[in-house]
């Protein structure tokens, strides 16, 4: 009986291992296609898109960077993503803190919390036309400022939700001690509370760097001039009505994913800890 249990337990471990390997392969397969075909010629890709390249053709990277003006597109993406994430952290941390500390005392903050949560179910396509008209009226179309405002406004609700769950785990006695020492509400938050929110702040930053860097729908609507377009929109340049240059598109995609991939690898520990702490402690 004991031997049978051991065999079943061992078989279960091997099954989970095999299942994990299959899942990893499925997730890495698209990345494999991008990397392999970025170094191929069009003839090699047409022959077999899954085979290894016969040689490392780096011309695809040079030609792709030249065709889409990669440096300018990269600069636009860095500005939009960096400023948007900084604003999201700034506003959502304060809103999450206020909601977490007052939602039980004041109905308004409870209503605000539910409004933030329900707004996450509203797809961008619903507000796309009104937003386009509003931003055109105020001269914010085809500007990085307009793109930043739009992305920040769309992201504050979810980020605030993450902060609310985490702020509840911060001891209120620390704030009371700061107020006794004469600290005002803003000083109490930024000096005492905000440093304790580092795990969830890292989570919010990591998640939104990935989402905003890869944003396509908003950028396509808001940024129609070539000078302000980001990397994701510039991918259109490789596909026309009569031709498609997959090799240069793969090369540009690979160059575009490297910065956010490095950032995610550096932040993944905080990402996992922040989501877990926010969910459990909330």
Exposure on the CB side of residue 106, measured as CA atoms within 13 A: 9
Output the pLDDT for position 282: 44
| Residue 86's pLDDT band (cuts 50, 70, 90) | very high
Secondary-structure percent of the chain, ordered helix, strand, coil, rounded to 5:
80, 0, 20
pLDDT at 48 over 80: yes
CB 161 within 8 A of CB 100: no
Mean pLDDT in residue range 190-208: 88
| Residue 5's pLDDT band (cuts 50, 70, 90) | low
| Residue 1's pLDDT band (cuts 50, 70, 90) | low
User: Quick one: what percent of the chain has pLDDT higher than 70?
Assistant: 93
Rounded Cα distance between 77 and 234, Å, is: 11
Query: What tens digit of pLDDT does each residue of 139-169 get?
Result: 999 999 999 999 999 999 999 988 988 888 8
Output the pLDDT for position 42: 87
| Residue 280's pLDDT band (cuts 50, 70, 90) | very low
Query: What tens digit of pLDDT does each residue of 161-186 get?
Result: 889 888 888 888 888 888 888 888 88
Output the pLDDT for position 273: 61
Q: Burial letters for 149-184: b for 16+ Cβ neighbours within 10 Å, e otherwise? A: bbbbebbbbbbbbbbbbbbbebeeeebeebeeeebe
Output the pLDDT for position 103: 76
Rounded Cα distance between 65 and 17, Å, is: 41
Output the pLDDT for position 102: 83
| Residue 79's pLDDT band (cuts 50, 70, 90) | very high
Mean pLDDT in residue range 81-93: 96
Output the pLDDT for position 279: 43
- Name the average pLDDT for the chain: 85
pTM value?
0.83
């Amino acid at each position: 009986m004991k031997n049978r249990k051991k065999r079943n337990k061992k078989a279960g471990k091997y099954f989970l291992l095999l299942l994990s390997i299959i899942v990893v392969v499925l997730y890495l397969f698209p990345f494999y296609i991008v990397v392999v075909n970025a170094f191929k010629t069009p003839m090699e890709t047409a022959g077999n898109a899954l085979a290894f390249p016969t040689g490392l053709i780096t011309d695809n990277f040079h030609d792709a960077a030249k065709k889409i003006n990669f440096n300018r597109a990269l600069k636009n993406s860095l500005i939009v993503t960096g400023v948007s994430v900084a604003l999201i952290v700034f506003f959502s941390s304060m809103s999450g803190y206020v909601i977490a500390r007052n939602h039980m005392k004041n109905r308004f903050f409870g209503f605000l919390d539910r409004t933030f949560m329900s707004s996450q179910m509203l797809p961008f396509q619903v507000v796309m036309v009104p937003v386009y008209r509003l931003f055109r009226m105020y001269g914010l179309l085809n500007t990085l400022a307009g793109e930043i405002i739009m992305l920040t406004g769309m992201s504050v609700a979810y980020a605030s939700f993450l902060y609310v769950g985490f702020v509840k785990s911060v001891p209120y006695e620390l704030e009371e001690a700061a107020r006794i020492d004469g600290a005002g509400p803003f000083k109490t938050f930024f000096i005492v509370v905000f440093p304790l929110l580092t795990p969830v702040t890292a989570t919010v930053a990591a998640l939104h760097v990935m989402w905003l860097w890869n944003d396509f729908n908003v950028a396509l609507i808001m940024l129609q001039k070539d000078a302000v377009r980001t990397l994701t929109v510039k991918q259109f340049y490789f596909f026309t009505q009569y031709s498609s240059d997959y090799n240069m598109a793969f090369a540009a995609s690979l160059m575009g994913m490297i910065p956010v991939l490095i950032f995610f690898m550096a932040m993944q520990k905080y990402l996992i800890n922040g989501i877990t702490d926010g969910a459990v402690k909330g």
